[in-house]
Amino acid sequence: MTSNSNLSSMRRTVEQLRLEASVERVKVSQAAADLQQYCLQNASKDALLVGLPAGSNPFREPRSCAVL
């Protein structure tokens, strides 16, 4: 009985490894370039990176507010 469960768990392991081995891998230089491109394209919209003018910061009280 143990040899049966050994066999089926080995089979699962081999099947899993076959699946992983069949993955097509992209060169790290290409992957890095794509990630960089995304970061740079979105940098100007990233409030934590470039900062926010006080007026448009929902977490900051406006200094003066004149309502006429």
Partner 1 sequence: MGEVEKMKKEAEGLKTQIEAARKAVHDTDMAAAAAGLASAPRVQLKTRRTLKGHLAKIYAMHWSTDNRLMVSASQDGKLIIWDSHSGNKINAVPLKSSWVMTCAYAPSGNLVASGGLDNMCTVYNLKTPVVKIVKELDAHTGYLSCARFLSYAEILTASGDTTCALWDIETGKQKTVFLNHIGDCMCLALSSDMNTFVSGACDSLAKLWDVRDGQCKQIFQGHTSDINAISVTSQNTSDSCSTEKRQKRASHAVSSFKSASSLMLIFTNITIMANINFFPIGNAFITGSDDCTCKMYDIRSDQEVIGYQDAQLNSGVTSLALSMSGRLIFAGYDDFNCNIWDSLKGEKIGVLSGHDNRVSCTGVPADGMCVCTGSWDSFLKIWN
Number of residues that bind partner 1 (CB under 8 A): 43
In the bound complex, what is the minimum distance in angstroms from residue 21's beta carbon to partner 1?
5
* Site membership for partner 1, residue 68 (CB under 8 A): no
Contact of 49 with 43, CB cutoff 8 Å: yes
Q: What is the binding site for partner 1 (CB under 8 A)?
A: 3, 6-7, 10-11, 13-14, 16-21, 23, 25-36, 38-43, 45-50, 52, 57-60
